Amino acid sequence: MAGPSLMDSLFQRSLDDIIKGVRLCPPGTEPTFIAKSLDEIRREVKSTDRQTKAIALQKLTYLHCLHGVDMSWAAFHCVELSSSSAHSHKRIAYLAASLSFNPSTTDVILLLTHQLRKDLSSSSVHDVSLALSTLSSICNPDLSRDLTPELFTLLSSGKPFVRKKAIAAILRVFEQYPDAVRVCFKRVVENLESTDVGILSVVVGLFCELAVKEPRSYLPLAPEFYKILVDCRNNWILIKVLKIFAKLAPLEPRLGKRVVEPICEHMGRTGAKSLAFECMMTIVSSLSEYESAVKLAVGKVREFLLDDDPNLKYLGLQALTIVAQKHMWAVLENKELVVKALSDVDVNIKLEALRLVMSMVSEDNVMEICRILISHAQKSDPEFCNEILGYILFTCSRNFYEVICDFDWYVAFLGEVARIPHCQKGKEIETQLIDIGMRVKDARLELVDVARSLVIDPALLGNAFVHGVLAAAAWISGEYVALSRNPFELMEALLQPRTGLLTPSVRSVYIQSAFKVLIFCIWSYGKLNGDDASEPSALTESVSKCDLEGTSETVVCESLSDTEVDNENMIIAGGQTSSASSRKYRLTKESIMGLVNLVEANLGPLAGSDEVEIQERVSNVLGFIELMKPKLHGPLGDGEGDEMKGKLEASEMVKLMFDVFSEELGPVSLSAQEKVPLPDGLVLKENLSDLEAICGDVKFPSSTSFSLIQPRILEKDTSSFPECNEESGPSTESTSLLAEHRKRHGLYYLPSENKGTTFNDFPPAHEPQDKTIDEAEDLVKLTEESLTSKKKQNHIKPRPVVVKLDDGEGLNMAVEKSKVKTDLISGAVREVLLGNEPMTSSSRSKSSNKSSKRREVDRIPESGNDIVNTAISEGSIAGSGRRKHQTHSKERKHLSSGKEKEQHDHNDKQKRDSRHHKHKSRQRAEGGINVPVQSPVIPDFLL
């Protein structure tokens, strides 16, 4: 493409024209305008006229920043324009380079080295400032290595503006080239004694950033920081120094004794909220063992909480959360303000107050705090309601439910949380219900009762947020069906028509649980109605403990006179009262056949489902029924010979399935899958690329829901349904809904003995509150009772056993297994401050030790007489060491003295010649820098 003509240069559009053109573009034409502008820029940037090139780069930089236009192709033009003598052109070039150059991928970045070195040595303050800003943005290891000598010089510049820029830029150089620490760090430390507030602010900010990674390396500088803390009156400098001491104080206990007094003085004297907050945070986080300082900080926290500014109130709650970890009395003193913050209009303040309340949870007050917070959540907006629920669930489940002693209460509490209208924590509740079932064996009875109340409630099926909870309830009902009060009731709930509202994954869990219930009922009848019914059997606890009075032909579990069902003990004999309504059910041939027909009627239409999970589980259930149904008619009746053989085969099949489902499941470690070795020859991704070609023509229906068609059932089958009685009770919302389903879909339910009665012991979807709770008063009263130092109350019953795995379960899997790489910057800082500076491999070697010392004065002429004298003194020390080593031979001693004299003359000649050579910058790049370091004299300030 040819360069721009003279007319193009004369009528070149400016940046203002580009901006106006973009704004005036009709909708949809902006990409066309930008593409046209880019074509113009590509022609203009090739111009030999510096002004035309500068305007083109300026327009390209604007389009790159605001419209994301790629400008990597113009990298060389940026380098070319940076050599212009005009400051305005240089500013445009450096800005474009800072915004578009990638230190790791831009190839032409090394071409900028010479120009940056030239501008860093310029007499113009503005040119030096531009070069420093650009270097901090685009520096890479090569640039940092080559330009370290110039930065070393600028760190002691007599112009404060330049020195501030150099100190700010040195941090990026340290990160890219850690060897620069050995050269420049002492100069940086010297600036801590500067009287210029700007320079002091920049250098303290630099150390504040460095101390974040490895603060121990900067402990020798504590005297300098202490002096700044005592003498300085600039708030921003003091804030940075306080941040440094917050990192250093935990590392050296003696340091805290010296700094706590000036920090308290600053906190009591200052009127700046920012400085007061930083003093407060330093005390509560790093100096919490000093009681008087903590009391002063808590008083300042109270001032923040009483302030009308929401920002200060939020910061006060943050500080109180930190101090509450070791001093709960601070929360007790401010309990009214914390509780009041729960009702604040600011969401962030409410969340911080909620975190503070949850930090007070213990074994003694967890039930009361959860009760009050749940009441508060029901009156809050949906977003904050779910925040409350999330914090409650997280706190209660932390460290294997360490704050939970009464798991019966907690399981019932999870069931109540699932019924809250705005609850969106179904996944967390689902996980905890299943986890408690597998870990806490003593809680399974109450867990089954809570799962039953969830499964039989049809009002919950339409709430998509609790589908996960319903899946967990269905799984529990099937897995622990032996603890159920009435398996027939569970089967009705698992197969009710409204389950079509569930997602396919949840519905597949329902079907599998129904399969488990069916297996349990058939196995129970076969076990109790067989020849060995009079003998104690291995039947599950709920049935084996029943007082089976009467004949063995009909097995009846009564709940009226002799046996009654209770929440704690499955069967209570002797006419004791029951805490829950009970019902009687009969295990007879007719009841089992009715149960089988019920399963067939509800699952038959799902056999052709497009969902693989549903189809597979339905096929399993129906296949089992097909195998068992002929034998249920024969073996369960009267007969001999072949019928006895069929009876044995049927019982063996049922026992096999029962054994499969009765195997107890335990918790699985998070790292269990990683321990399974991959089989040899297994290629997991083999042939998966051809899957799209194979299934490309298959079209699935858009809807996966099914409207169940009622199949015809013979009259003789419906007449054989069992009779069930249930006690009368108050009608509720869920009862009426289920009763309506019975009227519409009567064939899908087991009929009762009395046709006029309906099941009435289903719990409501949302139980009404008995009384209005005043959250503020309750929380204040609760904090007074639970936060005061007292002995733990003795619980009525001991805490049940919670199963834990022994393979490190609960550890954070995100923690890296490999050790963290040692910070190179901190290592170099320690070597400089402790005077144990080894030779860097990147810039020196043993063979070039003498030459590097010989070039020392040549490389840094402005470094001062102290560095030169240090280098000479080190050379003399090295010489004296050699002479001491060679004292056994006088001839060798004179020879070595002659060599040293010759070497000294050679050094002087090298020094004179270096002033007239232009290639010394090349020597700096190749040889690196070797600044000898004196052993630091660090006063024992801490002692």
* pLDDT given for residue 707 in this prediction: 34
Q: At 630, is the pLDDT very low, low, confident or very high (cuts 50, 70, 90)?
A: confident
Residue 267 DSSP one-character state: H
* pTM of the entire predicted model: 0.62
- Beta-carbon contacts of 870 under 8 Å, excluding residues fewer than 6 positions away, are 932, 933, 934
Lowest mean pLDDT among 230-239, 684-693, 779-788, 798-807: 779-788
pLDDT for 91-122, tens place per residue?
A: 999 999 999 999 989 989 999 999 999 999 99
* pLDDT given for residue 818 in this prediction: 35
- Residue 464, pLDDT above cutoff 60: yes
* pLDDT given for residue 202 in this prediction: 95
* pLDDT given for residue 565 in this prediction: 33
* pLDDT given for residue 253 in this prediction: 85
Residues 361, 369 contacting (CB under 8 angstroms): yes
- Highest-scoring range by mean pLDDT, 56-65, 366-375, 826-835: 56-65
Whole-angstrom distance, CA of residue 542 vs CA of residue 660: 19
CA atoms within 13 A on the CB side of 491: 27
Average pLDDT across the chain, whole number:
74
At 573, phi and psi to the nearest 5?
Answer: -100, 165
CA atoms within 13 A on the CB side of 178: 16
Q: Strand runs (DSSP E) across 414-551, as ranges?
A: none
As given in the structure block, the two tokens for residue 614 are: 């549903």
* pLDDT given for residue 206 in this prediction: 94
Amino acid at 329: W
pLDDT for 563-619, tens place per residue?
A: 333 333 333 233 333 333 333 456 788 888 888 889 988 898 888 888 888 999 999
Residues 423, 544 contacting (CB under 8 angstroms): no
Task: Tell me how crowded residue 259 is: count the other CB atoms within 10 A of its CB.
Answer: 23
Mark out the alpha helices in 155-221 (DSSP H runs): 160-176, 180-190, 197-213
Place of tokens 């620490």: 181
Place of tokens 């360490």: 402
Q: b/e per residue, 882-914, with b = 16+ CB within 10 A?
A: eeeeeeeeeeeeeebeeebeeeeeebeeeeeeb
The whole-number average pLDDT for the span 840-869 is 38
Distances (CA, A) of 790 to 321, 402, 655: 22, 19, 55
The whole-number average pLDDT for the span 461-486 is 91
> To 5 degrees, how large is the angle CA 579–CA 580–CA 583?
130
As given in the structure block, the two tokens for residue 536 are: 């104690």
- The SS3 assignment for 451 reads helix
- Residue 310, pLDDT above cutoff 70: yes
Tell me which H or E stretch contains 586.
strand 583-587
- Residue 434, pLDDT above cutoff 50: yes
The whole-number average pLDDT for the span 621-634 is 78
* pLDDT given for residue 111 in this prediction: 93
Task: Tell me how crowded residue 223 is: count the other CB atoms within 10 A of its CB.
Answer: 15
- Residue 670, pLDDT above cutoff 80: no
Residue 649 DSSP one-character state: H
- Residue 61, pLDDT above cutoff 90: yes
* pLDDT given for residue 584 in this prediction: 44
Whole-angstrom distance, CA of residue 241 vs CA of residue 244: 5
- Residue 787, pLDDT above cutoff 60: no
Residue 566 DSSP one-character state: -
At 456, phi and psi to the nearest 5?
Answer: -80, -5
Q: At 727, is the pLDDT very low, low, confident or very high (cuts 50, 70, 90)?
A: very low
Q: At 408, is the pLDDT very low, low, confident or very high (cuts 50, 70, 90)?
A: very high
The whole-number average pLDDT for the span 713-731 is 37
> To 5 degrees, how large is the angle CA 902–CA 908–CA 913?
125
pLDDT for 517-557, tens place per residue?
A: 998 988 888 777 653 433 333 333 343 333 333 333 333 33
Place of tokens 């004999």: 573
Tell me which H or E stretch contains 241.
helix 235-248
Whole-angstrom distance, CA of residue 298 vs CA of residue 80: 60
Lowest mean pLDDT among 174-178, 320-324, 745-749: 745-749
- Residue 860, pLDDT above cutoff 60: no
Domain-wise residue ranges, the chain = 365-479, 484-662, 672-813
Whole-angstrom distance, CA of residue 879 vs CA of residue 448: 88
- The SS3 assignment for 438 reads helix
Whole-angstrom distance, CA of residue 915 vs CA of residue 909: 10
- Residue 729, pLDDT above cutoff 50: no
Q: At 887, is the pLDDT very low, low, confident or very high (cuts 50, 70, 90)?
A: very low
pLDDT for 636-668, tens place per residue?
A: 444 454 555 555 666 777 788 888 787 776 667
- Residue 125, pLDDT above cutoff 60: yes
Q: At 160, is the pLDDT very low, low, confident or very high (cuts 50, 70, 90)?
A: very high
- The SS3 assignment for 844 reads coil
Partners of residue 726 on adjacent β-strands: 583
The whole-number average pLDDT for the span 709-725 is 36
Lowest mean pLDDT among 223-232, 324-333, 387-396, 400-409: 324-333
* pLDDT given for residue 833 in this prediction: 78
The whole-number average pLDDT for the span 250-279 is 92
* pLDDT given for residue 785 in this prediction: 53
Q: At 225, is the pLDDT very low, low, confident or very high (cuts 50, 70, 90)?
A: very high
* pLDDT given for residue 258 in this prediction: 92
Whole-angstrom distance, CA of residue 888 vs CA of residue 222: 47
- Beta-carbon contacts of 885 under 8 Å, excluding residues fewer than 6 positions away, are none
- Residue 789, pLDDT above cutoff 90: no
- Residue 403, pLDDT above cutoff 70: yes
* pLDDT given for residue 668 in this prediction: 73
Q: At 776, is the pLDDT very low, low, confident or very high (cuts 50, 70, 90)?
A: low
Q: At 774, is the pLDDT very low, low, confident or very high (cuts 50, 70, 90)?
A: low
The whole-number average pLDDT for the span 420-449 is 91
Lowest mean pLDDT among 7-21, 249-263, 419-433, 513-527: 7-21
